[in-house]
Amino acid sequence: MRRPGPRAAPNFTEVKENPQAADSRRAVPANVPVMRFEELILVLLAVASSATAVYLWHTKMALGREIRALRENCRTAESENARLRQLLSALQSAENGRIARLEHDLKSPLGVILGFSTLLREFAEGQSLPALPLRCISGMDQASRKMLQIIDAAAQDPESDGDPERTVAEEKAS
């Protein structure tokens, strides 16, 4: 196989006739062949095809990176959701325990007050006491029982405000 020798520098002083247009003349180096229009179109199509292939390859790589990033974000979000579910479960357990302790802490002294008001009422009924102490004992007994109903309603539905009349009215409405 023969090795090509060094190329001569193009000579722009010579002017060749353009085979496509008989009237037009342009400066073309003497050692550069003039391309036909069809050949030029084929070369341009090959260059455009190569450029498109490179662009598509870069786009595919960029989309691949974005897809990998989205998958990683999904994995991160799923693990964060699992962590938040565990935290919510722990909070609900703690709240249920707190409500149970609060219910016990309120009901214990309330039971003592109810027992004391019952004893006072029974004692007052056996004695001939004026009406004022009887009304006070009756009011203490009624208030204690209402408080017991509020505690029971709040223990059943922690989201309610604890008003048993409103809770009963809401149940009748639904």
Q: d(Cα 114, Cα 28) in Å, to the nearest integer?
A: 117
Lowest mean pLDDT: which of 59-63, 67-71, 88-92, 141-145? 141-145
- Kindly tell me if the per-residue pLDDT of 164 is higher than 90: no
Structure tokens at 147: 């408080």
**Residue 131 contacts by C-beta under 8 Å, 6 or more apart in sequence?**
none
pLDDT in tens, 7-61: 555 444 444 454 554 445 556 566 666 667 788 888 888 888 888 989 999 999 9
**What pLDDT does residue 25 have?**
54
Structure tokens at 120: 């006072």
User: pTM of this prediction?
Assistant: 0.40
Domain map (residue ranges) of the chain: 35-164
Q: d(Cα 42, Cα 63) in Å, to the nearest integer?
A: 31
Indicate the helix (H) or strand (E) that contains 49: helix 37-126
